[in-house]
Amino acid sequence: MRSVAELQPLFDEAIAGNRRALGRLLTVIERGGQAAAAVNDLAHAAGGNGHVIGITGAPGSGKSTVTGQMLRLLVAAGAKPAVLAVDPSSPLTGGAILGDRLRMDDGPDSFIRSMATRGQSGGLAVAVPAAVRLFDACGYNPIIIETVGVGQVEVDITGAADTCLVVVAPGWGDAVQANKAGLLEVADVFVVNKSDTPGAKDVRRDLEFMLDLGHVSGHEARRGSRPNIVNTDGISGDGIDEVLAEAATHLEQLATNGKLADRRRRRIGLEIRSHLQQQLEQTVDMLIEGTVGAAHIDQVANGSMRPSEAVQALHARLYDG
């Protein structure tokens, strides 16, 4: 592995525009540990003010196709966008098929990186903010995080972006589905994709109804604004310019009403919390798998100790090392 001292020159190269250096640093971030933390600190010191856009939705709703069309327009307008495309790893083998890139046009003015979720131990929640910060330090703007809207970590990460786009497509369900908690609550802009197909008007109507209820219940006031809905056709690219305009407007709104700083502060809170959770989890694992943990488990198993006593005793040991 790479030592921390080796990272500074690699980081300098990445900042200077060396794409291979950036690719390698993203790998360092994915692997976690001290080297990843060092890269994160370097990126933090370098700073940046890029627009972080989350894009999420059910599998097959067209996230990657919409993202690909956004990239095309952004590059044509002279922007330098980056995409972090997250796909799930198999819990059985650890393998993954990362197929988002397939639907995006690659070019010298954009940077696309695929990332697998790699287990549930909080690795993703730690790696994504660091990767975003690195893109930001390298001058990429906007930075788009694409995740499947399944799994709490993915929803949390995407929902913590400056602007969160939720892609829905006809066939996803009725108005009751639209009111279930989760994915739809984190949206700042709704993208009704595949709007060339029948059903698209129904989807829009159901979303409008859900947003009406959010107005009544107070959710809208807490979130800051009522999300707009844009109809798109990912294949032809219809409506994508409107998605970008809505995202830009949303950022302006946040900057004006002072909520942008709040959001970014909350995102840092989520990141630091994830780091602490990861460390705690490792400490707990070591304790449980060690001799002390085994002794307590044995005593509970043979009836000589109550479960609550074992928890209390082990909890006390967590803090005296």
Partner 1 sequence: MGNEEPIRVVLAKIGLDGHDRGIKVVARILRDGGMEVIYLGLRQTAAMIVAAVEQEDADAVGVSMHNGGHLTLAPRLVQALRDAGMETPVVVGGIIPDDDVQPLHDNGVAVVLGPGASADEVVASVREAVLANRA
Contact between 51 and partner 1 by CB under 8 A: the answer reads no
Beta bridge partners of 164: 54
Euclidean distance between the first and the last CA atom of the chain, given in angstroms as a whole number: 28
Burial class (CB in 10 A: 0-12, 13-18, 19+), 315: exposed
Q: Which of 2, 13, 31, 73 binds partner 1 (CB under 8 A)?
A: 31
Q: Which of 6, 9, 12, 19 binds partner 1 (CB under 8 A)?
A: 19
| Separation of alpha carbons 143 and 79, rounded Å | 11
Q: Which of 9, 17, 94, 139 binds partner 1 (CB under 8 A)?
A: 94
Contact between 113 and partner 1 by CB under 8 A: the answer reads yes
Q: What would you report as the CA-atom Rg of the chain, rounded to the nearest whole angstrom?
A: 22
Min CB(106)–partner 1 separation in Å: 6
Give the number of residues in contact with partner 1, rule: CB under 8 A.
29
Burial class (CB in 10 A: 0-12, 13-18, 19+), 223: middle
Give residue 47's region: left, alpha or beta (phi > 0; psi -120 to 50): left
- Check the CA dihedral 176-182-186-190 and report its sign: negative
Q: Which of 61, 64, 65, 114 binds partner 1 (CB under 8 A)?
A: 114
CB atoms within 10 A of CB 301: 10
Min CB(113)–partner 1 separation in Å: 6
Contact between 23 and partner 1 by CB under 8 A: the answer reads yes
Q: Which of 2, 13, 24, 241 binds partner 1 (CB under 8 A)?
A: 24
Min CB(87)–partner 1 separation in Å: 9
Of 119 and 182, nearer to partner 1 (C-beta) is: 119
Contact between 27 and partner 1 by CB under 8 A: the answer reads yes
Which segment (14-22, 160-168, 216-224, 267-275) binds partner 1 by CB under 8 A? 14-22
Alpha carbon 202 to its chain centroid, in Å, reads 29
Q: Which of 44, 118, 223, 317 binds partner 1 (CB under 8 A)?
A: 118
Tokens 């999420």 belong to residue: 56
Say which DSSP state 187 is in.
-
Contact between 20 and partner 1 by CB under 8 A: the answer reads yes
Min CB(129)–partner 1 separation in Å: 17
Q: Which of 112, 155, 191, 230 binds partner 1 (CB under 8 A)?
A: 112
Min CB(144)–partner 1 separation in Å: 14
Contact between 286 and partner 1 by CB under 8 A: the answer reads no
CB atoms within 10 A of CB 289: 10
CB atoms within 10 A of CB 16: 9
63, 99 Cβ separation under 8 angstroms? no
Beta bridge partners of 55: 146, 165
Quick one: tokens of 186? 């984190």
Min CB(84)–partner 1 separation in Å: 11
Contact between 33 and partner 1 by CB under 8 A: the answer reads yes
Contact between 91 and partner 1 by CB under 8 A: the answer reads no
DSSP letter for each residue of 134-174? HHHHTT-BSEEEEEES-SHHHHHHHHTSSEEEEEE-TTS--
Q: Which of 8, 90, 152, 312 binds partner 1 (CB under 8 A)?
A: 90
Contact between 264 and partner 1 by CB under 8 A: the answer reads no
Nearest Cα residue to 170 out of 139, 201, 145, 135: 201
Contact between 3 and partner 1 by CB under 8 A: the answer reads no
Q: Which residues in this chain contact partner 1 in the complex, by CB under 8 A?
A: 19-20, 22-24, 26-27, 31-33, 89-90, 93-99, 101-102, 106, 108, 111-114, 116, 118
